Amino acid sequence: MIDKHSPMPIYYQIEEAIKERIDKGEWREGDMIPSEREFSEMYHISRMTVRQAVTNLVSDGYLIRQIGRGTFVARRKIQQKLFGLTSFTEDMKGRGMKPGTRLLDFRTVSASGPIAEQLQIPDGGEMYEIKRVRSADDLPMALEITYLSEDLVRGLTEEDVYGSLYGYVEKELGMTIGYATQELESSVAREAESRTLGIAEGAPLLLIKRFSYLEDETPLEIVYSAYRGDRYKFVVGMHRNRTDSNG
Amino acid sequence: MIDKHSPMPIYYQIEEAIKERIDKGEWREGDMIPSEREFSEMYHISRMTVRQAVTNLVSDGYLIRQIGRGTFVARRKIQQKLFGLTSFTEDMKGRGMKPGTRLLDFRTVSASGPIAEQLQIPDGGEMYEIKRVRSADDLPMALEITYLSEDLVRGLTEEDVYGSLYGYVEKELGMTIGYATQELESSVAREAESRTLGIAEGAPLLLIKRFSYLEDETPLEIVYSAYRGDRYKFVVGMHRNRTDSNG
DNA sequence: CAGTGGTCTAGACCACACG
DNA sequence: GTGTGGTCTAGACCACTGC
């Protein structure tokens, strides 16, 4: 089960093995899994290596550690996904809906102002501007305008933006997305939005502004979205920081 | 600087030392901090202990590791707080506003239905129901209804709910809050809400439903809030999961 | 090349939970 | 007392970066 000579790190192999047992239902929610020392003996590896695997799964929400008692399969594992940053495409698939895209506009424009600044594009640089209507199960769900530095994702084509931009950046360009900050506010649809989304004027809209960054903090994209208030709920899991109550 | 015989773990002391240097500006955004081996020699501790400190600070957003290059102070450290779950009181303070509370109702009611189920209160159990208007700089910001199991926070009084419930639970009861899931949706104010919040009927509202859990997954509270759309933006930082693109 | 973080070992002692 | 996770050691080899 564990290959010590695989290029895959041992701790990663253990993570996958544990997740598989949980997914298969071999270990159920609330069950105690083998102790770190048992894993260590089972696979003939050091306990610190086991701990690295378990620590990762704890922070991913799969496991719960309890001092003096043991390590347990987390309840509510459905909620694991809530903690991770996802693209529209991944979000909709996670909700069991079919994502779709209608491209309204795809162009490069010269960068300037706060958008250029946020994307760290120097004066005179170009950026992609992509306007899309995102749909779920063939009904309009959101209106999206995305900005990316042309320099960072040079060679982006219209075909690339019909699916997940995150998927493209990660799989085609081999970049690693780190995190995003998102601002959400409530608004009402004006004429233009109501027409594009097929809702009444004055109907509720959820506005989301997203700044995405790569792992090394390079700004990747800015996205302005307007989601239909009658079809979309934003769902997020948040952990309590160890340091919040102090500082 | 490091006391090996302190009851505080060494890795924690190192974390604090590093954070202090960052907060003081001794190490600035983008600066490389000493290598793990340097820390190890500096403090006469093993490198694995240093790594534990650095790993924690990386996941808290203070540091960035780069293979073969070094460890750097993260940019945008203002955004660190965005990733942590906060109470209303902490949230407003973080925005530089003065939080306030007007208590509309405080009572215990017999638990039943989906709320009792979510809070894991057995048939016949009681729960607190707390209705509050939360204000920022003395202007109404949100209408909140909170439910807690009476059994879990027995002895809660009216005075306890004028400030941060999270603070009370953590500091007075000594519990550790783990995480929460939150659902956000856009809506418009009806008559009752518009009167309580001092806004027009039909004005945008941001509705937030929150389920909080302790570290061991015990359900702590349910909160339904309605925030004024003209005064409040929900801000959140989200990390990309290692596993999102695969599974 | 030297230096960095990434992984891993084979132990150790501690505080805690439980019977 | 036994078993658990929490912390810590003093090394080791690897892949990667940058000069």
Instruction: Indicate whether B64 and B24 sit together in one domain.
Output: yes
**pLDDT for A69 beyond 60:** yes
Nearest nucleotide over every DNA/RNA strand to the A68 CA, judged by C1' = D4
Same domain, A95 and A178: yes
- The C-alpha of B96 sits at a distance from chain A's nearest C-alpha, in angstroms, of 14
What value does the mean pLDDT take over residues B228-232? Answer: 97
Residue B244 has pLDDT above 70, yes or no: no
Looking at the fold, whether A135 and A47 belong to one and the same domain comes out as no
Give, for A124, the enclosing helix (H) or strand (E). Answer: none
Distance of alpha carbon B130 from alpha carbon B161, whole angstroms: 8
- Same-domain pairing of A84 and A151: yes
Does pLDDT of A76 surpass 90?
A: no
Residue A212 pLDDT: 94
Task: Look at residue A5 in the predicted model and tell me its pLDDT.
Answer: 86
Is B5 within a domain?
no
Same domain, A63 and A151: no
Mean pLDDT of B54-63: 92
Instruction: Give me the CATH number covering residue A25.
Output: 1.10.10.10
Do A105 and A217 have their domain in common? yes
Mean pLDDT score across all residues of chain A: 91
Contact B240 A186 (CB under 8 A): no
Look at residue B82 in the predicted model and tell me its pLDDT.
79
Residues 71-90 of A with CB under 8 A from B: 74-76, 79, 81-86, 90
pLDDT at B175: 86
Spatial separation of the C-alpha atoms in residues B238 and B8, rounded to whole Å: 30
A97/A102 Cα distance (integer angstroms): 16
The sheet with strand B204-214 has its strands ordered as A234-239, B177-188, B204-214, B219-228, B139-149, B126-136, B99-110
Instruction: Look up the pTM and report it.
Output: 0.89
pLDDT tens profile A116-134: 999 999 888 999 999 999 9
Same structural domain, B34 and B56: yes
Q: Does B95 touch chain A (CB under 8 A)?
A: no
pLDDT for A155 equals: 85
Tell me whether A179 touches chain B (CB under 8 Å).
yes
Q: pLDDT tier at B242 (50, 70, 90 boundaries)?
A: low
Q: How many helices, marked H, and strands, marked E, lie in chain A?
A: 7, 10
Taking only Cα atoms into account, the Rg of chain A, rounded to an integer number of angstroms, comes to 22
Final residue before a domain boundary, out of A52, A73, A94: A73
A39 and A84 inside one domain:
no
Q: How far is B158 from chain A (nearest CA, A)?
A: 22
For residues B165 and B229, membership in a common domain is answered with: yes
Weakest mean pLDDT among A212-221, A230-239, B69-78, B204-213: B69-78
Same domain for A133 and A193?
yes
Per the structure, the complete domain to which residue B57 belongs is given by 10-73
Residue B201, domain CATH:
3.40.1410.10
A94 CB-to-strand D distance under 7 Å: no
The total number of structural domains that make up chain B: 2
Place of tokens 């790569």: A214
pLDDT for A246: 36
The answer to whether the CB atoms of B188 and A204 lie below 8 A apart is yes
In a domain, B3, yes or no: no
Q: What is the pLDDT confidence band of residue A25, given thresholds at 50, 70 and 90?
A: very high
pLDDT in tens, B160-190: 999 899 988 888 888 889 889 999 999 999 9
Q: Is the pLDDT of residue A79 over 70?
A: no
Domain end among A73, A90, A115? A73
Q: What pLDDT does B78 receive?
A: 55
Strands B204-214 and B177-188, how do they pair? antiparallel
**3-state DSSP of A51-74:** HHHHHHHHHCCCEEEECCCEEEEC
Hey, what amino acid is at B128?
Answer: Y
Instruction: Tell me: do B99 and B69 sit in the same domain.
Output: no
Domain assignment present for residue A140? The answer is: yes
* Tens digits of residue pLDDT in B38-49: 999 999 999 999
Residue-level pLDDT at A85 = 92
pLDDT score recorded for residue A81: 73
B184 touches chain A (CB under 8 A): yes
